[in-house]
Structures are given as structure tokens and as C-alpha cells.
């Protein structure tokens, strides 16, 4: 149509504010602009957007076919009418103000998507959401404004659905109170927040959005660059899961279960991370309490000393409430005054001051150690000034540890009493009486008989006397077996390896000394014919350990060494210097004699405060 004259008038032949005379006064520039629009009407009609042109007074002078379709008006119905005819009544006043401001600012070009909510009023009275782009045609008082109008119904509906979906999703997240669920941008900054996160971590959304996730980590973890490593692993592997201490806004710690998942767009680009955190402090505390109780009970059952168990109680009490130190004090047996039995933590010299055990503050908890109404001591845990306050839950934990301390103290006392009444002490007394009395008498009788046999000239009588001496030696040997605590029948229905293990287990049960065995069954089988002697050797060795060594642990080994059976017993007792003549005694002589009777050898190694090792080698 370029170059052709207009086929119809540009304005309707009607009276009113818009007429030919008025159009002629608009000037040649406007006329030429309208002529260009008319010439290009075919092109403008083919555009997907509706085209609308208005003069400076806001009167419509041109509209395209698409605008007719969108508005429901024919062009002839719109020409000369104000733009506000296409604006809903509730928005007309604002539109006039916007139009005036647009002209005042020099009629700049405005692209679509300006963020304004604009509605077009159709001929049928329907409000249609639209996007509008503006551009000036000409300048000055005779300028026109071209508007490209696009139906935004679909976009608005999609945006509304997306907004409602986001709102529903946020309602879902806010309804989850037990989990902190939030988004993190690729740089590690908090990008969203839910009410569960506010409850667990203590931050309001306006306080935390845009902040780095490192604010949730302890200073130690920040120094180790744990926040960066967690995001890096999640980005590389798609997911990162861990547990650890995290910080709330008020600085308090909680044990967190954390899952971080990377979020990528369809093209694979990293858009951020989702992070889910659960406060698992109570679960961890329950597990830690169970583990601590189990550990203390195992230490008691393993025969650990009362001192070691009380030290364990103090350490676990401090760790369970995350305190700076713990001190456990017991009364002196003579004066009744408290003295430190165990202390754990930093600045232990100050913590060991028992004068502060009765004082209470928000930083300290003191709990009496009581058994059957009797006071056995005091357990105290505390933080330094400026540290975390200890509450009711912490007191419950300390009370639990105090009850374990009471069990340890009572158990230690009972074990000491049992040891004083131990059967091995009674056996030692009986053995001493047998050794100093009956055996010496029998030994003298045997010596006299041997002397008589040497003087007699009667071979038959000499043979009978020698037989009597053999019987006396057998009786002496049997009595020595009783001295060493031999119980008849230990080998009955048992192999030697089983008998040695049973002997070690009995010694552990009766003495409280932990006895570990390493028995080579094949070596034990080769000693089957000498099983009774081997049992006696081990019994005497264990008797020396339990009665004299003051040991807490002992190891029994039967192994092969260059065609020899090696029976070894070593302990961690007080030891002695073999050169000073102490530590030999009847027991060691008995061991040497029995070893010699088997054709073997005995070696002893000992040093003061370094324990004792006895090795017996027997030919196989």
C-alpha cells in the first residue's frame, strides 16, 4: 500500500471535538505520521500486538485490526474517543495522571514488561490484562504516541498460578515446624526461610536472608571451611548429608542432622541448594547418655579400679553437658572431709578446689552422690564466667552420672571387702600351716628312712624303705598341690587347653585381676601326658600374681618355641628386683622344682613398678 492515497478518511465525518478543522490544525507533521500509519496499515494489521495511536490530548487517532479483535470495538467506534474509554472506570483517574506524567517526562520509549498492572476494558465490559509498550511519534504539542498492546491474559494466569503455587508451597514449608527448610544461592547465602528454620535457629526471615550459611556453624567448623566443603560436595555429588553442632542466633549449640541437595536447571547449570536441618539434640543426648552408662558399667564389670571408674564418670559428666570441667569429691575415711577423687577438663587445678562444691549458680551444677541414704561424695560440673548456662536438663544428666559414681564407689568397697575374705587368702593360710607343719614333718621322716636304708644290709628291707620314701614324696607332692589351691577334677572331661582357660577365668573371677589367655591348642595337645603338672605350674604362677603382684591385668600364653612349649605369665604389678633376694620364696622354689621334673627351664624377669614375667620352657 506504500505510495497510495488513503482510501478512506482518517477521521469520522461527525461533529464534536474531533473534526476536519481540528485535524487540519494539527500540522503537517502529524498528518504525515497518520499518512504513514495508513500506508502501512496492512503491516500493522499483521502484527500479533494491537496498535493504538493517540494524540497529545489522549484522543484515539488510529487502531489496528488486532486492537479491534482485542477490544471488541471497530476502529470507527474508537476514533476521536479518549483513551480512558478503554480503561476500567476504577482506573481511569490514575490513567489520566500516568498519561500526564508521561508527557511531562518527555514521552520516553517504554518497553513491555514494565511491571505495571494494566487492564483494557472491552466493548462487552470485560477487563483484559494487557502489556503495553509506548513510543513517541513526532515531538512537541503536535506529537503522537504509539502504543503496542498485547493480551497478557495467559501470562497473567500463569503468573497467578505460579504465585498461588509458591504461596501454597510456602504454607506447606511454614507448616513444617520440626525442620528448617530453606534455599541457599550458589554463593552460599540464604535465599529463603521457613517458620521451622526460625524456630530452630532463632532468626527471623528479614534478619537472615542474604546472610552466608557460615553463621550457623561453630568457629572451629568455620576455620576448617566446613560450610564451603559441604556445598562443594553437594554440587559435585548432588547431595551432602552430615551431623554436627550448629549455632542458634543466641549462640547456643544444637546437634543438627543436615541434608544439602544441589538444584540445577534443565541445562545443568547450578541454581542453588536446598538445605534441610533437623534439631536432633535430644536424640544425641539420649544416645550419649546410654553410651556413657554402658561404658561405665563395662568398666565396673571388667574389674577396673574405683579410681579409674570415677575418673571416667567425671569425664562423661563434663562431656554430656558440654561443661568446662567436672570434679568428683569423696569424704576422707578418717576425717570425713571431702577430697578430690577425679577431675576432668580445662584448668583442672582450679576445678579441684573442693571448697566451691556446695555453691550453685547458673553456670554450675552440684549433685550429691548418695547410696541408700548415705552420702558418698559430690559431683560438680561447671562453666567459666561468660560460658553457657546449665539448666534443668543438664542437672538430670549430672544426677544420672552421680548415680553411676555411687555404684562405682559401692562396688569398689564391696570388692575390697571380698578380696579381704577371698578364698585365696584362706588357702594361703592353710598352705602355710601345711608347709610349715605337716610337710616338714613328712620331709624329716623321709630323710630318716633314707638314712636307715643306707645303713641296712638287707636288700629286701632297703627296697621296702625306698618304697615308703616314694610314698612320702607322693604325699608331700599332693599336699603341695593343696597348698597351691588345686581342686581335684579340674582336668576331668576337659582337654588341657580348656583346663588352662578355666583356671585363668577362675583366677580372674576370684581376684578381680583381668586375665587374658592365648592358648595354642596344638601345643596343649602335645603336653596331654603332663597335663596335671602343667596345670599345677599355671596355678602357682597365677597364685603368685593374685596374692603378691598387686596387678590389674595379667596375660597367660602357651605357645611353641623351637620344639619347646613356652608357658608365659606376665603382669603389670609392682614387680621386684630379683637381685635383692625378695620375691623368691617357697612359691618360686616350687615352680623351679616342678619345671625341673619336666625337664624344663624357668626364667624370671621383673623390675620395680614394671611388673613381672615368668617363662617356663618344657621339651615337647
Is residue 300 over pLDDT 60? yes
Domains of the chain: 20-153 (3.30.450.20), 176-279 (3.30.450.20), 284-420 (3.30.450.40), 486-620 (3.30.565.10)
567-570's contacts with Cβ under 8 Å and 24+ in sequence apart are 567/534, 567/537, 567/538, 567/541, 567/615, 567/616, 567/617, 567/618, 568/613, 568/614, 568/615, 568/616, 569/538, 569/541, 569/542, 569/545, 569/613, 569/614, 570/611, 570/612, 570/613, 570/614
Phi then psi for 14, rounded to 5 degrees?
-140, 155
Q: Is 379 helix (H, G, I), strand (E, B) or coil?
A: strand
Of 185, 404, 157, 460, give the one whose Cα is nearest residue 290: 404
Of 542, 538, 519, give the one whose Cα is nearest residue 530: 538
351, exposed or middle or buried, with CB in 10 Å at 0-12, 13-18, 19+?
buried
Asked whether the beta carbons of 92 and 120 are under 8 A apart, the reply is no
Place of cell 592353710: 430
Cell matching residue 192: 529463603
302, exposed or middle or buried, with CB in 10 Å at 0-12, 13-18, 19+?
middle
Q: State pLDDT tens for residues 314-326.
A: 898 888 888 888 8
Q: Say what the pLDDT of residue 178 is.
A: 78
Which range has the top average pLDDT, 10-24, 249-263, 332-346? 249-263
Q: Say what the pLDDT of residue 321 is.
A: 83
- Name the pLDDT band for 236 (thresholds 50, 70, 90): very high
Mean of pLDDT values over 86-110? 87
Mean of pLDDT values over 232-251? 93
Is residue 487 over pLDDT 90? no
Of 263, 247, 266, give the one whose Cα is nearest residue 255: 247
Is residue 27 over pLDDT 60? no
Mean of pLDDT values over 595-606? 87
Is residue 356 over pLDDT 70? no
Q: State pLDDT tens for residues 535-592.
A: 888 988 888 888 788 889 999 999 999 889 999 999 998 888 777 655 555 667 778 8
Residue 123 CB partners (closer than 8 Å, separation 6+) = 71, 72, 73, 77
Q: CA torsion, points 80, 85, 87, 88, in degrees to nearest 10?
A: 180
Asked whether the beta carbons of 511 and 535 are under 8 A apart, the reply is no
Q: Quickly list DSSP for 430-452.
A: HHHHIIIIIIHHHHHHHHHHHHH
Q: In the chain, what percentage of residues exceed pLDDT 70?
A: 79
Q: Is 3 left (phi over 0), alpha (psi -120 to 50) or beta?
A: left
Is residue 492 over pLDDT 80? no
Q: Say what the pLDDT of residue 4 is.
A: 38
Across the chain, mean pLDDT equals 80
Amino acid at each position: 500500500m506504500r505510495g497510495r492515497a488513503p482510501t478512506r478518511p482518517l477521521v469520522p465525518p461527525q461533529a464534536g471535538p474531533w473534526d476536519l478543522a481540528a485535524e487540519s490544525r494539527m500540522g503537517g507533521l502529524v498528518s504525515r505520521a497518520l499518512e504513514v500509519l495508513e500506508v502501512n496499515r496492512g503491516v500493522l494489521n499483521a502484527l500479533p500486538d494491537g496498535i493504538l495511536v493517540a494524540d497529545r490530548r489522549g484522543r484515539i487517532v488510529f487502531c489496528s485490526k488486532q486492537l479491534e479483535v482485542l477490544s471488541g470495538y471497530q476502529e470507527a467506534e474508537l476514533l476521536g474517543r479518549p483513551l480512558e474509554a478503554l480503561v476500567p472506570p476504577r482506573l481511569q483517574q490514575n490513567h489520566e495522571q500516568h498519561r500526564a506524567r508521561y508527557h511531562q517526562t518527555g514521552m520516553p520509549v517504554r518497553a513491555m514488561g514494565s511491571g505495571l498492572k494494566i487492564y483494557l476494558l472491552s466493548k462487552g465490559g470485560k477487563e483484559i490484562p494487557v502489556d503495553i509498550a509506548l513510543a513517541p511519534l513526532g515531538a512537541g504539542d503536535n506529537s503522537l504516541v504509539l502504543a503496542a498492546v498485547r493480551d497478557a491474559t495467559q501470562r497473567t494466569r500463569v503468573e497467578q498460578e505460579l504465585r498461588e503455587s509458591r504461596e501454597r508451597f510456602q504454607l506447606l514449608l511454614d507448616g513444617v515446624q520440626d525442620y528448617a527448610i530453606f534455599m541457599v544461592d550458589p554463593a552460599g547465602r540464604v535465599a529463603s526461610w521457613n517458620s521451622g528454620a526460625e524456630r530452630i535457629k532463632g532468626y527471623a526471615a528479614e534478619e537472615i536472608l542474604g546472610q552466608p550459611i557460615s553463621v550457623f556453624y561453630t568457629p572451629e567448623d568455620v576455620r576448617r571451611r566446613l560450610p564451603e566443603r559441604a556445598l562443594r560436595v553437594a554440587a559435585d555429588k548432588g547431595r551432602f548429608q552430615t551431623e554436627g553442632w550448629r549455632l542458634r542466633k543466641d549462640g547456643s549449640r544444637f546437634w543438627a542432622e543436615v541434608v544439602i541437595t544441589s538444584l540445577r536447571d534443565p541445562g545443568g547449570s547450578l541454581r542453588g541448594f536446598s538445605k534441610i536441618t533437623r534439631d536432633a539434640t535430644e536424640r544425641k543426648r539420649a544416645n550419649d547418655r546410654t553410651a556413657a552408662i554402658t561404658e561405665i558399667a563395662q568398666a565396673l564389670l571388667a574389674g577396673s579400679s574405683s579410681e579409674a571408674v570415677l575418673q571416667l564418670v567425671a569425664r562423661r559428666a563434663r562431656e554430656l553437658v558440654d561443661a568446662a570441667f567436672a570434679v568428683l569429691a569423696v569424704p576422707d575415711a578418717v576425717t570425713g572431709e571431702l577430697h578430690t577423687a577425679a577431675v576432668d577438663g580445662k584448668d583442672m587445678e582450679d576445678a579441684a578446689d573442693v571448697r566451691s562444691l556446695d555453691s550453685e549458680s547458673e553456670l554450675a551444677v552440684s549433685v550429691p552422690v548418695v547410696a541408700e541414704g548415705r552420702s558418698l561424695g559430690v559431683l560438680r560440673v561447671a562453666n567459666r564466667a561468660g560460658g553457657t548456662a546449665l539448666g534443668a536438663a543438664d542437672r538430670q544428666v549430672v544426677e544420672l552420672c552421680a548415680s553411676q559414681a555411687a555404684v562405682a564407689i559401692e562396688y569398689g568397697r564391696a570388692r575390697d571387702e571380698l578380696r579381704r575374705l577371698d578364698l585365696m587368702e584362706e588357702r594361703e593360710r592353710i598352705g602355710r600351716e601345711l608347709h610349715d607343719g605337716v610337710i616338714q614333718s613328712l620331709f624329716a621322716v623321709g630323710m630318716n628312712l633314707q638314712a636307715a636304708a643306707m645303713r641296712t644290709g638287707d636288700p629286701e628291707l632297703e627296697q621296702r624303705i625306698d618304697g615308703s620314701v616314694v610314698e612320702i614324696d607322693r604325699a608331700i607332692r599332693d599336699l603341695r598341690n593343696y597348698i597351691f589351691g588345686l581342686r581335684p577334677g579340674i582336668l576331668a572331661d576337659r582337654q588341657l587347653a580348656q583346663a588352662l582357660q578355666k583356671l585363668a577365668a577362675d583366677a580372674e573371677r576370684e581376684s578381680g585381676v583381668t586375665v587374658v589367655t592365648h592358648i595354642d591348642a596344638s601345643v596343649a595337645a602335645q603336653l596331654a601326658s603332663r597335663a596335671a603338672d602343667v596345670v599345677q605350674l599355671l596355678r602357682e604362677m597365677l597364685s603368685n600374681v593374685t596374692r603378691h603382684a598387686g596387678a590389674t591385668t595379667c596375660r597367660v600364653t602357651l605357645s611353641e618355641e623351637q620344639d619347646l612349649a613356652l608357658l608365659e605369665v606376665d603382669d603389670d604389678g609392682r614387680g621386684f628386683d630379683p637381685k635383692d633376694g625378695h620375691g623368691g620364696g617357697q612359691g618360686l622354689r616350687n615352680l623351679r622344682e616342678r619345671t625341673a621334673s619336666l625337664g624344663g627351664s624357668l626364667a624370671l624377669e621383673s623390675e620395680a613398678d614394671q611388673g613381672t614375667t615368668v617363662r617356663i620352657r618344657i621339651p615337647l
